[in-house]
Chains A and B, each alone.
Chain A
Amino acid sequence: MDFQLTEEQQMMQRMVRDFAEKEIGPVAQEMDASGQFPWEVIRKMGSLGLLGLPVPEEYGGCGADTITYAIAVEEISRVSGSVGITLAAHTSLGLDLIYRFGTEEQKHKYLPSLAAGKGLAAFGLTEPEAGSDAAAVKTTAVLDGEQWVINGQKTFITSGSIADVVIVAAVTDKSAGAKGISNFIGEKDTPGFRPGRDEEKMGLKGSVTSQLFFEDCRVPKGNLLGQPGEGFKQFLITLDGGRISIGAMAVGLAQGALDAAVKYSKERVQFGQPIARFQAIQWMIADMATEIEAARWMIYRAAWLKDQGVRFTKEAAMAKLYASEAAERACFKAIQIHGGYGYVKEYDVERIYRDNRLTTIGEGTSEIQRLVIARQVLGKF
């Protein structure tokens, strides 16, 4: 057993923290108010290799382990949930699908520029009628000579309208149910592909969440990922990893809320003393710190299991479930500690609370995580 980050992981943590505080911190509040996508930040992250961390070097990435990647998502999210989810969706959904299931040719074609942050990747799974029930996707892909013809609609796709590459889940064999779904690599300017509106969200306002439309959108035959019918299995594997990153995002947001609460509670004076002297406040801080610590180690452990190459479905679901719900509690308390000031936009905790709300919903709701965990714990009976 070794509960220490390696020197290398620690340096990466320092670098990303430093970057996030200096380059993202000053614009985080404004991003939330304006809803502008932070292209400048994303470009800088790309130039530092932060948009291709777990991608092997031969495809233009850094070859970092999953713990290092989780640390990066956490540190970025500590300062901005919007940039955190953009990083998470790009890396552990978009890039992961290509890296894990793409051919050598597909990997060499798409990964280097995406890993360098020259463009973003997105994964289009969710549809108006297929959310938690991902096998219910209705988008279809039909082979016509050398091309697949895609028709359908996607919704809630992170970076969907601004991505260079969108992986699209579509039904290639209606009769086969979940085994009739396949994933395709789509490029942004393909005729027949049209982004719809970007959603007006409660939080994560500096990230883009889009509707996507496909009307006789033709992609080359070679853009299929793996074999026809493997799509469902592919994205279940990828989503296991994605859960680690949404969990890491929640830990980062919660840590940001705790940092703000600690600072505020020492500065705010009521009844002649800093409110941090009141036991009621101390207990909230103690609970926040404890739950964040637990969540962080659950994330690290799931990430570690992933790097060992063993199954980590249950641990990733547990870590994501616990981290997102612990973060919800931490954000609630951080606002409570700020009193009325926590309810106004001038203070970061107001934004963090809204940003974190997504983490119990995206990449599988808490209910779906419990369903996954219970299935693993109960086994067949």
Chain B
Amino acid sequence: MADSAVNGAKTGVSGAGEADRPLRHVRQALPHDSAVRHVQGTAQYIDDIREPEGTLHIAIGMAPKARGRITALDLAPVRAAPGIVAVLTAADIPGPNDVSPAMGDDPMFAEERVEFHGQALFAVVATTRDAARRAARKAHVEIEAERPSVSVEDAIARNETVLADYGFGRGDADAAIAQSPHRLEGSLRIGGQEHFYLEGQAALAIPGEEGDLHVTSSTQHPTEVQHVIARVLALPDAYVTCEVRRMGGGFGGKESQATQWAAIAALGAKVTGRPCKIRLDRDDDFVLTGKRHDMRCDYALGYDDDGVIQGYKVAHLVRCGYSADLSQGVVDRTMFHSDNAYYLPAVRIDTRRLKTNTVSNTAFRGFGGPQGMLSIERAMDEIAWATGRDPLDVRLANLYAAGRDITPYGQKVEDPQIMHAMIAELAESADYRARRAEIAAFNASSRVLKKGIALTPVKFGISFTLMHLNQAGALVHVYQDGSVHLNHGGTEMGQGLYMKVAQVVAEEFGIAMERVRITATTTAKVPNTAPTAASSGSDLNGMAAKIACEAIKARMTAFASEKYGVLAEQIDFRDDRVFIGNESLSFPELARDCVMNRVQLSHAGFYRTPEIWWDREKAQGKPFFYFAYGAACAEAVIDTLTGENRITRVDILHDVGKSLNPAVDIGQIEGGFVQGMGWLTTEELVFDDEARLRTHAPSTYKIPVASDVPEHFKVTLYPNANRTQTIYRSKAVGEPPLMLANAAFCAITDAVRAVAPKGARIPLDAPATPEAVLRACASLQGEALDGEALEAGAQP
């Protein structure tokens, strides 16, 4: 069966490609569009833009307590500080005091109550950044403090949530579990994660005529920044323009949470009539902006003698922070990925979206998916521990397959054979079975150091589960000299989106890359856009740009066809020329001729993802246009005396469809894996009992550095055209690779297992920090010691 699946995958893809002609730009490993500027330091981020004369600087005044009523806020000492031009509070906001993406529960400035430690109370506008920051600390704030909810358990005890509980499933999971020959229950805690985009949150707002505002913001969602600014300033959307050329990283942290800072800059500009800039200090950025959702996942399952799951139940108890933010979509995606790559015949997935007095958790690469997937990977390991089978065999036995291919939400997995083929190929190329044996031998003879290995799959659904976001626009102009202006709604945060879309445009017109001028994303050119998120940037914007190019090309072709009396089919755009029957002219020549003959050379392309739908009430639909697949094999070594651990080898096979740009895609896979590895190994957010974040800088919050990444780190693209009609049959790549790092966590868990008594369960939560690994080892060895002691005691 595995064999035929391999063959199926290999032969099933042929013919699914786009045009037969060789491609000149698409599929080429071209460098990032700004690479030359990046290496020279001339690529501009917000803070690098030359400030207009008289620009003012903003700093945030932050709440000293996490929960309670504000009884006094005396800003006189702030106003009296040197260099202060204005102090902004809720009273200065002309519209609603609300910077939330949807739910109305994120005030720009807290008014009556504070909800988390550090929450913005006011903002200082000063002549220098230094003056603003110094003054911001001078306020007298009195808060009638209450005990904050810090943990999931605190929130459950108070029964406080930010959104209603939600669950879905299929069949009777309880009955299926009860009737299974084997059962187990467990719980896994999964930590959050700070984005640590290297460029912190920043915005520059410049006032124009009659209340117009031009705002440059480091945001993944310029449209939302525009709309929220218009909302809080009580202006029509049309008065506000938001622009972003590039971000120094986003990772979801600038999807909804760049908005507040841009809106405060805009308010400052409105109040003072002068340009206002904000760049959050890094420590403040840590405190003021949301993280990946952390959660407790309680699961129960029943399985047969072969380790195949019969019934599965999971409850995700999610710490959302003080407000809803994007938690609906995030936690829904946790649910959509609670199956990962495994078929669950009878299943129930429940969630609670708990309110804690901590910063509002938000989008982070994977958008809740990683947590759902990690919890079922733990379940797979649990079955392996209980049955003594190899964890990979347990995974293979549970993988989606023909006839076992309907997800818990009713969407069919159309191509499950790909997963079988990829895992088989990776197990082979990474030599999984032989290494498993070597590791067992090593562990038998090594007293302190123990090794572990794991091979885990990834299946990730592509599309926004909020249906209306699955749309994109692009604006393409061809000028009379044959140069092309490209604009679209997607934003560039390093992921190579601008380059990929430019490759598509150059390909469509058959022109050199140099003719395509990539321009900054702005709400003035392409309106009403979705955020650049959900990995969908190139799928959506690439298609919109292609549609725009096709429209312009069609007009150019019609003109040439008529002028030269040649059938449209005999007109071809390639090599910077246009071939018209037996003649040819340069692309610029035809462009100029079109202009002289009043042919429109500009088009706004628009794309909406077809086929998808989702009925949340009924929990049925096809929320994903397709799935992206991957598999990773990781090896780990731990020191059982200190808990220190390393990932020593990584092999990855990942499916990006037919890549638009393999260099960019491989970079996404490598970066995604390492970011995921950080989340699951070294990155730990510590909130104290007062709900203060104690790890608010990279000094205490450990982000992977070069020496944490193994030298053997092999990434291979799986050759596979997307069976779905996507841009040049590629697949989205932004998020899926992050979850390849589940293999790193499972490998460390496997290494801990080496000190465990046979059949024991491994009490290791994520992240697997040295402390966590040491605790797990100690408790297992304690068990083992106790066991020995008992035995010894039994026969004196």
The answer to whether A binds B is no
